């Protein structure tokens, strides 16, 4: 079956594709976007309750980003010698490893039938060449509809059992991909302005807590999401026996700054001080058990001690730093206990 490299552009982008090595990205403008750029966040609908951001370009240029790329190259890299990949580069003039800069993904967190989601991708795009490439792909059928001066493209891929893909080019640096309703909302906001995710007081408050130079972050507002979504997220906490704090989780914020290492920060609101304290004690108990397993390795113990977990009122606060030594140490322990090397997925 023929593999299409269009999916590299039109899927919600593999994190590491942008962290891969090679030449630096081409400049597209003198203006560098930031994680909380109102120009882009103002395109996210007001009803957004899940928001994810990644600055691939910035992460790629750090020493730790290069380390991640080298370590997971077999899993996440692309074969630049592959003929189809070279054909894709030649036909579209776009290299996904170099020309995808930033990603904003948002979702309303509604039930299956009414959930609306999509992504805004910032990079370097040649609409004419990309569309021509899709039209020449024999495994795809391309349809298009006009909406307020923009063409919304629909790629039918039913022959291979995949859902259709809809997207539009806002300009040569910006692509919106997702549900048609979501894309139209983005186009409307780009034309008229109006209420957006920053008009959502709860989401705006969470976003304002994130340092402006952090390249990777996520905000989840479970208090406004439908029961179907929240149950799926909260049931992941079933390992925490004896506490209902996961079921009572109201919000979750994650952000990280990548440079020579990655500094991670997580904050969750779990409803009550009692539940937050109980969950913190449970998590610290797991950490203590892990320390017993590596009690003969001072470096590993120091790494575990570097994971700070505490409760403040109804909040759980977790922060730590991950660097090259972390992956080396985890690989070492996995081999000792019979596991394989660390994998990204």
Dihedral sign for Cα atoms in the order 142, 169, 206, 310: positive
Q: Give me the phi and psi of 183, to 5 degrees please.
A: -60, -45
Q: Which of 76-85, 103-112, 127-136, 246-255 has the highest mean pLDDT?
A: 127-136
- Read off the tokens for 1: 């079956």
Transcribe 244-257 into DSSP letters. -TTTT--EEEEEEE
Q: Given this model, what pLDDT does residue 3 score?
A: 42
The verdict on pTM exceeding 0.85 is no
Model confidence at 170, in pLDDT bands (50, 70, 90)? very high
Which tens digits make up the pLDDT trace of 292-341? Answer: 988 888 888 888 899 999 999 999 999 999 988 887 777 776 676 655 55
Which tens digits make up the pLDDT trace of 20-62? Answer: 344 333 333 333 344 445 689 999 999 999 999 999 889 988 9
- Read off the tokens for 162: 């995949």
Chain-centroid distance of CA 177 in Å reads 14
Largest pairwise CA distance in the chain: 66
Residue 16 has pLDDT above 50, yes or no: no
Residue 14 has pLDDT above 50, yes or no: no
Which tens digits make up the pLDDT trace of 139-153? Answer: 568 889 999 999 999
Q: Given this model, what pLDDT does residue 235 score?
A: 60
Higher pLDDT, 232 or 260: 260
Residue 123 has pLDDT above 50, yes or no: yes
Q: Given this model, what pLDDT does residue 340 score?
A: 53
Vertex 105: Cα angle to 233 and 10 (nearest 5): 115
Q: Give me the phi and psi of 128, to 5 degrees please.
A: -60, -50
Estimate the crossing angle of helix 298-305 against helix 324-336, to 10 degrees: 120
Task: Report DSSP state, residue 306.
Answer: T
> Over the chain, what is the mean pLDDT?
79
Residue 238 has pLDDT above 60, yes or no: no
End-to-end CA distance of the chain: 24
Please give the average per-residue pLDDT across 250-261, as a whole number: 93
């Amino acid at each position: 079956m023929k593999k299409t490299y269009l999916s590299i552009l039109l899927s919600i982008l593999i994190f590491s594709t942008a962290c891969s090595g090679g030449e630096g990205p081409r400049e597209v403008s003198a203006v560098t976007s930031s994680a909380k750029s109102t120009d882009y966040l103002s395109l996210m609908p007001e009803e957004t309750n899940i928001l994810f951001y990644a600055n691939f370009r910035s992460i790629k240029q750090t020493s730790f980003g290069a380390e991640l790329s080298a370590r997971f190259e077999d899993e996440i890299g692309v074969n630049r010698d592959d003929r189809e990949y070279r054909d894709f580069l030649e036909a579209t003039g776009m290299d996904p490893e170099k020309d995808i800069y930033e990603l904003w993904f948002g979702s309303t967190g509604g039930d299956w039938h009414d959930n609306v989601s999509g992504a805004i991708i910032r990079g370097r795009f040649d609409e004419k060449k990309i569309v021509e490439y899709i039209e020449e792909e024999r495994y795809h059928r391309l349809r298009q509809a006009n909406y307020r001066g923009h063409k919304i493209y629909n790629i039918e891929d039913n022959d291979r059992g995949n859902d259709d893909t809809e997207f539009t080019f806002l300009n040569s640096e910006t692509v919106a991909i997702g549900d048609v309703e979501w894309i139209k909302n983005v186009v409307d906001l780009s034309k008229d302005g109006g209420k957006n995710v920053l008009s959502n007081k709860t989401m705006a408050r969470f976003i304002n807590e994130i340092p402006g130079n952090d390249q990777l972050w996520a905000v989840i507002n479970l208090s406004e999401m439908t029961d179907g979504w929240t149950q799926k997220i909260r049931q992941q906490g079933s390992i925490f026996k004896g506490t209902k704090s996961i079921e009572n989780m109201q919000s979750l914020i994650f952000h990280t700054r990548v440079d020579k290492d990655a500094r991670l920060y997580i904050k969750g609101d779990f409803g009550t001080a009692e539940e937050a304290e109980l969950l913190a004690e449970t998590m610290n108990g797991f950490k203590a058990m892990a320390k017993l397993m590596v009690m003969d390795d001072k470096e590993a113990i120091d790494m575990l001690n570097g994971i700070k977990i505490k409760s403040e009122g109804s909040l759980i606060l977790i922060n730590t730093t991950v660097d090259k030594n972390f992956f080396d140490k985890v690989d070492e322990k996995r081999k000792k206990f019979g596991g394989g090397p660390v994998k990204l997925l």
